[in-house]
Every structure is written in C-alpha cells, then in structure tokens.
C-alpha cells in the first residue's frame, strides 16, 4: 500500500480510515453509528451513503455454514433493520437499504 507521503506500508500493517468521504459518497467502515435512540447493534461492517441520491446502504457480511444461512439472515435483519430505519430518519434519506452478504 502507498500512503499519502508515498511511503510503502506492508498490507498487514495498513490501517484504513474509518470514514472516507467525497462530494458524492460517504463510507463508514467498522465504526459505531451515533443514533438518537440507543441501539444494541450500531456497528455494521459498512455504511455507504450516496449524498446526491439521498440513499444509504447498511451492509453486514457473514460467513455462515450452509445449514445456518436462513438463521443468520434473520438474525442480521433483526439486528440491523432498526439501525437502517434510524439512519433514514436522522440523516433525512430518501431510502435506507439493508444488505447482507454471505
């Protein structure tokens, strides 16, 4: 990896920023999302906001065994759907979508 000062960093020592932002997108990675209501599950893997379209994608990644996929899916929906709804309300988004990747 090449850092801002053009020094090479070994990939296992590289620490990416928890927030990356430009004029069109904001990306939160492994960071607590502050909410008005206390939520027990407020640290999804990725939160991507398209500022121009006012859409937010809450993404959580899991690697379950094939027999546990539907159970894990329901668990993630139950954990992070309240966060997606809260983000839509607080950030005044047109749409807030919850994605799970397996």
The answer to the question of residue 53 being in a domain is yes
The answer to the question of residue 1 being in a domain is no
The answer to the question of residue 43 being in a domain is yes
The answer to the question of residue 6 being in a domain is no
pLDDT in tens, 47-88: 999 999 999 999 999 888 888 888 988 999 999 999 999 999
Query: Token pair 């329901």 is at which residue?
Result: 74
Q: Maximum Cα–Cα distance for the chain, whole Å?
A: 47
* CATH number for the domain that contains residue 23: 3.30.70
Q: How many domains does the chain have?
A: 1
Query: With a threshold of 0.85, does the pTM exceed it?
Result: no
The answer to the question of residue 4 being in a domain is no
pLDDT in tens, 9-52: 777 787 778 899 999 999 999 999 999 989 999 999 999 999 99
Domain that holds residue 26: 11-101
């Amino acid at each position: 990896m090449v850092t801002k000062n053009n020094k090479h960093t070994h990939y296992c020592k590289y620490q990416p920023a928890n927030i990356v932002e430009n004029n069109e997108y904001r990306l939160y990675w492994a960071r607590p999302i502050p909410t008005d209501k206390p939520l027990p599950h407020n640290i999804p893997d990725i939160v991507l906001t398209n500022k121009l379209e006012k859409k937010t994608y809450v993404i959580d990644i899991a690697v379950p065994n094939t027999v546990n996929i539907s159970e894990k899916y329901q668990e993630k929906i139950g954990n992070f759907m309240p966060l997606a709804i809260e983000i839509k309300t607080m950030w005044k988004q047109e749409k807030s979508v919850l994605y799970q990747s397996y």
